[in-house]
Amino acid sequence: MGDYDFYAAQLRFAAAKAGEADPGVAGMMAALSRAADQIRHGREMRVPAEDLRLTARALAGVAGFLQRHILPEVVAAGNALGERQVRWTIDTSMACVARLMTHAELTGDGEALSMTLPDPPV
Going by the DSSP 8-state scheme, the letter that residue 111 receives in this structure is S
pLDDT band at 17 (very low <50, low <70, confident <90, very high): confident
User: For residue range 50-63, what is the model confidence (pLDDT) as tens digits?
Assistant: 999 999 999 999 99
Amino acid identity of 56?
A: A
Angle at 121 between CA 77 and CA 86, to 5 degrees: 40
Q: How far apart are CA 67 and CA 25, in angstroms?
A: 19
Residue 99 reports pLDDT greater than 90: yes
Q: What's the whole-number mean pLDDT along residues 77-100?
A: 98
Residue spans per domain, the chain: 5-116
Residue 43 reports pLDDT greater than 70: yes
Residue 97 reports pLDDT greater than 80: yes
Residue 1 reports pLDDT greater than 60: no
How large is the C-alpha radius of gyration of the chain?
14
